[in-house]
Chains A and B, each alone.
Chain A
Amino acid sequence: MSFQIPIGPQHPALKEPISLRMTVEGEVITDVDMRLGYNHRGMEKLAEEKSWLQNIYVTERICGICSHSHATCYVQGVEKLMELAPPRRGLYIRYLVAELERVHSHLLWLGVAGHEAGFDSFFMYTWRDREIVMDLLEMISGNRVHYAINTLGGVRRDIDEGQKAKILEGVATLRKRSEYYFYIGANEPSFVARIAGVGYLSKESAIALCAVGPVARASGVARDVRKDDPCAVYGELDFEVATADTCDVLGRVVVRVKELLESYKLIEQMVKGLPAGDIAVKAPRKAKPGEVVSRYEAPRGENIHYIKANGTDKPERLKVRAPTLANYPATVEMLRKGFIADIPLIFAAIDPCICCAERTVTLVAAGSGEESVVRMSDLRRQALARHQNAPVKRNAVWPL
């Protein structure tokens, strides 16, 4: 018997709305349909209304987890447009925060993976230790989530000796804990049984479907913007691109834990080798006409911002390609022929950040499949009317 189960738009496994419609036969998935567009926020349009400086804070709010990556990506691009050269100390602090953010994002993801697999103790412990890095970030920047440390031409806050010592101390503890979680994640039999061999994505399809970030690296594709196109400071630092060749969720766990360890290495190098000098240069309010593409390796994968300037103090166009969007085609491939029980794990393994990837809303008539454009007020009126007139359906088939 084959029937359809709706995962989302509201579902406990999803922290944000997305609709995955699974055609299942018993416990096995035979087909996957993915629908986006439940949480469109109009970020790109909003960016056209704000000045270059204000847009740092707008882009920072594209994502709540990798807030710094979007802001950094944007700031890199605008600095290129304005021909600014941020001082080296400023760059070191900027990418130090970036690596701390990677640490917090990956620890968060480890906990989420544990929770999706029903391993709540693992979830609680990883999140407890994530507090260490959250406190470090709060100490450096003044806030836990939106660090707001970037500014055009450098960073806004400096680091003193006491903070340096605290960072090194926190990183030492975290390294020990991460190694322990690696041991737990790779040895707890019930957990390994859930993630090994699940969500297979071969190296060929990872390349063909343009997977990015840890998903691609877990399939043996050593693709990392920090290494391939070293921006600013990464060329001077010693680190490796973590890969795994198991091509499954276990591989993605391994890659992320290895990246944690690499990030600790980077943080220590940056703190110890922090150059002296200013942290920022003064930025003009207007940018010359031109366009730029900026890339940055967010914790979830390659983040791309396209920025176009027209000579005013506002961007003409800002296009954001969040890493999650690049991983959706690969997710569909991974979900096929899996079990229902694997859906949350496979989907969580791309570390989805759904709202970051929402760019458009399409209105599709359920019956005819026709697309249309309506005003917001009309849409609201239609929704109310539909709700009031809807007859009670027996044995309802879920409309697409």
Chain B
Amino acid sequence: MAVVRTLLYLVVYPGLLFLFVYSTFCEWFDRKVYARLQNRMGPTHTGRFGLLQPIADFFKLMAKEDIVPEAADKRLFSILPVVGLAVVATAGLLLPVWNFDLANPGLTSFSGDIIVVLYLLSLPTLILFLAAWASTNPFATIGGARVLTMFFGYEVPLFLAVLSPAILADSWRLAEIAAFYQAKPLLLLTNLLGFIVAVIAVQAKLERTPFDIPHAETEIVGGTFTEYSGKKLALFRLTFDIELVVSSGLLAAVFLGGFPGGAVVGFLHFVVKTLFVIFLLSLLRALTSRIRIDQVVSFAWKYLAPLAVLQLLVTILLKGLLS
């Protein structure tokens, strides 16, 4: 039974199949909200309300010609999209949605899994950089340099912000952190500052406006993805969609009280809370213009990092007060 359960966990829910369907749904939601905020329609005709548009886009890209540049490092160039997808899908497995037992840590929920998720979410950045470097295109090279530069800006605030609730809950395990805040929901309010910092940092991690600098199309064409086409580009896009789901799931687990109530109710919690986070991300996307790379770094270190440290300070003081 345990084997079947684990296999289902890996392949169907919340493994690849579920992540694929749900991430395309989230992309649709993001696009629709973004369009409505701009007084547009958004996807309309593929499926009901255009729900199937992201899936149609995915399959369209899969069927397109796949070109590997002559000068590129071919093996690295081809393998990176798959690795990227694998990494974020693995991170998705660690979200405390279904298969976990609070008392007994298992393979999908263990002490320190919050660190592992954060680590797995950092990897796509490096993969993007490598992909850009491997494609040897001037636009991609600039994009890759921008990916790394931005990474040094947002990663520290993100870690500080996400880890401070864990410090208050006195656990490095996502399920336990969520359970702690489910028991004391009022304490979630103390993490509001951290939540804001984390949302902005996640926006930067997902390279969405105002942080879509690595693939700013009016400046450096496709940026990191300039040379990617066909299946590989489809996989990269899927990677970003799944990363969107996983990051918003992580924020929901840490800052919004997790997903209590077993398989069905927990799942509803998951959907509502991730969509809420994605809504915030879309709003941020519609609200701002793209900033410059030097402005990202100075913004991250002037405002985000101090705020994250402040959150950490509040958490530590509160913890002293509580104990």
Contact = CB atoms under 8 A, between A and B. Distances in A.
Interface of A: 3-6, 11-13, 24, 26-27, 114-122, 124-125, 128, 188, 190-191, 193-194, 339-344, 392-396
Contacts of B294: 27, 339
B216 A121 contact: no
Contact of B288 (A13, A27, A119): A119
A121 B138 CA distance: 29
Given A13-B218, A341-B213, A119 B136 contact: no
A266 to B, nearest CB: 29
Q: Closest 7 CB pairs between A and B?
A: A118-B290, A119-B289, A124-B38, A13-B218, A344-B218, A190-B288, A191-B289
Contacts of B289: 114, 117-119, 122, 188, 190-191, 194
A393 B145 CA distance: 24
B37 interface: yes
Nearest to A122: B289
A144 B30 CA distance: 33
B219 A340 contact: yes
Given A120-B209, A121-B37, A191-B289, A340 B136 contact: no
B218 A118 contact: yes
A14 to B, nearest CB: 9
Given A12-B217, A118-B209, A343-B219, A4 B292 contact: no
Contacts of B286: 120-121
Given A118-B209, A190-B288, A341-B292, A394 B71 contact: yes
25 contacts: A3-B138, A5-B138, A5-B220, A6-B138, A12-B217, A27-B294, A116-B218, A117-B289, A117-B290, A118-B216, A118-B290, A120-B209, A120-B286, A121-B286, A122-B289, A188-B288, A190-B210, A190-B288, A341-B213, A341-B290, A342-B292, A343-B219, A344-B219, A392-B70, A395-B136
Residue of B37, B39, B219, B289 with most partner-chain A CB within 10 A: B289
Contacts of A120: 38, 209, 286
Contact of B216 (A5, A26, A128, A341): A341
B295 interface: yes
A341 B145 CA distance: 13
B291 interface: yes
A341 to B, nearest CB: 5
B293 A12 contact: no
A394 B71 CA distance: 6
Contacts of A392: 70
Contacts of A125: 38-39
A107 to B, nearest CB: 15
B38 A115 contact: no
B218 A394 contact: no
Contacts of B220: 5, 340
Contacts of A26: 145
Contact of A395 (B71, B210, B290, B292): B71
Interface of B: 37-40, 70-71, 136, 138-139, 142, 145, 209-210, 212-213, 216-221, 286-295
Contacts of A122: 289
A191 B210 CA distance: 10
Given A5-B142, A118-B218, 12 more contacts: A11-B221, A13-B218, A27-B294, A116-B218, A117-B290, A120-B286, A121-B287, A124-B38, A190-B291, A193-B295, A344-B218, A344-B219
Q: Which residue, B37, B39, B71, B290, has most C-beta atoms of chain A within 10 A?
A: B290
B227 to A, nearest CB: 13
Given A194-B290, A340-B220, A395-B71, A118 B212 contact: yes
A26 B210 CA distance: 21
Contacts of B217: 12-13
A118 B210 contact: yes
Contacts of B295: 193
Contacts of A12: 217-218, 221
Most buried by A among B70, B217, B219, B220: B219
Nearest to A14: B218
A194 B287 CA distance: 14
A6 B292 CA distance: 20
Contacts of A24: 142
B17 to A, nearest CB: 33
Contacts of B218: 12-13, 115-116, 118, 344
A128 to B, nearest CB: 6
B144 to A, nearest CB: 13
Given A121-B286, A124-B40, A128-B39, A339 B138 contact: no
A50 to B, nearest CB: 38
Contacts of B71: 394-396
Contacts of B39: 124-125, 128
B32 to A, nearest CB: 14
Given A27-B293, A124-B38, A340 B288 contact: no
B287 A4 contact: no
Contact of B139 (A5, A128, A188, A393): A5
Given A5-B139, A340-B219, A194 B288 contact: no
A18 to B, nearest CB: 14
A86 to B, nearest CB: 41
A124 B40 CA distance: 8
A341 B293 contact: yes
B147 to A, nearest CB: 13
Contacts of A188: 288-289
A122 to B, nearest CB: 7
